[in-house]
Amino acid sequence: MRVVAAGMLVLLLGGGCQSDHDALTGRDPGGAGGGASGAGHDGGNAGTDEVARGSAGMAGTTGTVDPPEPAGPRVLTLLHAVVDGGRVWFCFSPVDDGEVGPALGSPLPASGLDYGEIFSTGSLTGLDLVSDSFQPWVIEGDLSELEGLDCRQALDQAASYARAWPPTAEGGAGGVSGDTASSAGAAGIAGMAGAAGAGVELYPPPPLQALPLPVIPAGTLSGERSYLLAARGCMGGGTLHSAEWQEGLCGAGYSPTSPTLAPVLVMLSRVSEADALGVQVVHATSDSRPLEIRSVGPASSQSLARDVAPDAIKPRTADLDHSASEYGDPVADAVLEVLESGTVRHSQTWGSAWMGSDLAALSDGHTLAVVVIGPSLGFLPGSWHHGSNLTIFETTRTVP
């Protein structure tokens, strides 16, 4: 989705990229200074039982004994939860002694991700998922802009656009081009976003833009587990129709030149039982408040999780206390209700949120991640932004 005129685990940020990407890092997301979980939220959740634990960079608590997780292939699932993002790709740069190197490989996946879509991989080109530190990049834009480009070339192309953005507009504050666009135009862009009736031309983000996420330290993905990396918040880059709702949509502190892009990185559970449908819930929205989610069928109502904190997963080990029929019969037709302070803010069927190819997986013997994405709960899609949504996938998904 393009802006048109008319919402984790604590990660450490490495050093700046030593290539021609200063124009990109000049708009670092709010979480890029350290604890990424604070970007657009009131603060991180390290130390709460909602946050997964067990690897470097992951926080949690002790006190409960969970069923042993089955060893399996190490899988990293990437999720597009960017509120103002059109098609999105991920790239990764190695980090050595705090220095971020050129991005390696090709943008993932090749065709990009639409809002709410996922892509799973067991490896990253030129990187060891266990022993290397690396910095993820989120690239957003038109597929045609990436044709034939590898990650390094794509970031260079995005940097070129960033230096020349915003486009020149006669009489418009912030109508600056060239190397001064990112800095000198900032005040003008913010002013245009809130200048209702000022007669200033609004403009979209560049055809291709990229922003870094905080560095994932070596050892974070050391377990033979399944991991989810979601990019949430907003990337900005273009003026908005109205500044009135932008923080509710994108998170606290957002403006077109102050993006709130941030990661949600959690370890997924793959425990299962033949007579239960395993469930975990992930809060990957711009909303800073905890949420509850329940499944409602014609004759039943069953809670999946309560008090799920922002950027967190709950429970830490999949809930195996309920059979599929307790969530709905059939599950695909049951309605998932997302609540905040007891009020339903979003509802959607299991089937409409399912990312798999076979609804048969919505049954006993399987374990699912239910991910709440989007702006603050309750916002519907708009001309420049996505609305609240759910993404469901199987935590035991494998890669070729």
Q: What is the CATH number of the domain that holds 307?
A: 2.60.40
Each residue of 149-179: pLDDT tens digit? 999 999 999 999 999 887 764 433 333 233 3
The average pLDDT across 348-353 equals: 97
* C-beta neighbour count of 170 within 10 angstroms: 6
- Residues near 366 by beta carbon (within 8 Å), at least 6 away in sequence: 272, 277, 278, 394, 396
The reported pLDDT for the residue numbered 243 is 67
Is beta strand 87-96 parallel, antiparallel or unpaired with respect to 99-100? Answer: antiparallel
Is residue 326 within 8 Å of 300, Cβ to Cβ?
A: yes
The reported pLDDT for the residue numbered 167 is 73
Do you find a cis peptide bond into 205, omega within 30 degrees of 0?
Answer: no
Res. 296 pLDDT band, cuts 50 70 90: very high
Span between the terminal Cα atoms of the chain, in Å: 30
Same domain, 114 and 160: yes
CA-nearest of 250, 288, 249 to 42 is: 288
Q: How many angstroms from the chain centroid is the CA of residue 344?
A: 23
Mark residue 219 as left, alpha or beta (left: phi above 0; alpha: psi -120 to 50; beta: remaining): left
Is residue 313 within 8 Å of 230, Cβ to Cβ?
A: no
Measure the CA dihedral 13/94/28/244, to 10°: -100
- Residues near 127 by beta carbon (within 8 Å), at least 6 away in sequence: 92, 94, 104, 134
The reported pLDDT for the residue numbered 68 is 85
Same domain, 310 and 233: no
pLDDT at 59 exceeding the cut of 60? no
Is residue 235 within 8 Å of 141, Cβ to Cβ?
A: no
Whether residue 261 is contained in a domain is answered as: yes
- What is the DSSP code string of 136-180? EEEEEE-HHHHTT--HHHHHHHHHHHHHT-SPP-TT-TT---GGG
Res. 397 pLDDT band, cuts 50 70 90: confident
- Where is the domain boundary, 236, 267, 298? 267
Number of domains within the chain: 2
Same domain, 87 and 219: yes
What is the average pLDDT value for the chain, to the nearest integer?
80
Whether residue 12 is contained in a domain is answered as: no
The average pLDDT across 295-310 equals: 94
3-class state of residue 329 by DSSP: coil
Same domain, 55 and 33: yes
Of 49-53, 61-65, 267-271, 395-399, the poorest mean pLDDT is in 49-53
Range of the domain at 278: 271-394
Whether residue 7 is contained in a domain is answered as: no
3-class state of residue 370 by DSSP: strand
Res. 64 pLDDT band, cuts 50 70 90: low
Each residue of 227-285: pLDDT tens digit? 999 999 999 887 755 666 888 899 999 988 889 999 999 999 999 999 999 999 999 99
Same domain, 260 and 287: no
- What tokens does 287 get? 């909303």
Residue indicated by tokens 């002694």: 97
Same domain, 150 and 212: yes
Rounded percentage of the chain residues whose pLDDT exceeds 90 = 62
- What is the DSSP code string of 198-227? S-PPP-PPPSEEEEEPPPB-TTTT-SSSEE
The reported pLDDT for the residue numbered 195 is 35
Whether residue 218 is contained in a domain is answered as: yes
Rounded percentage of the chain residues whose pLDDT exceeds 70 = 74
Is beta strand 262-268 parallel, antiparallel or unpaired with respect to 343-349? Answer: unpaired
Same domain, 278 and 370: yes
Each residue of 206-231: pLDDT tens digit? 999 999 999 999 999 999 999 999 99
Indicate the pTM of the whole model.
0.81
- Residues near 325 by beta carbon (within 8 Å), at least 6 away in sequence: 331
Whether residue 4 is contained in a domain is answered as: no
Is residue 362 within 8 Å of 350, Cβ to Cβ?
A: yes
More confident residue, 5 or 14: 14
- Cα angle 343-313-361, degrees, rounded to a multiple of 5: 90
Is residue 396 within 8 Å of 80, Cβ to Cβ?
A: no
Same domain, 331 and 245: no
The reported pLDDT for the residue numbered 65 is 63
The reported pLDDT for the residue numbered 193 is 35
Same domain, 238 and 276: no
Of 37-41, 208-212, 252-256, 370-374, the poorest mean pLDDT is in 37-41
pLDDT at 48 exceeding the cut of 80? no
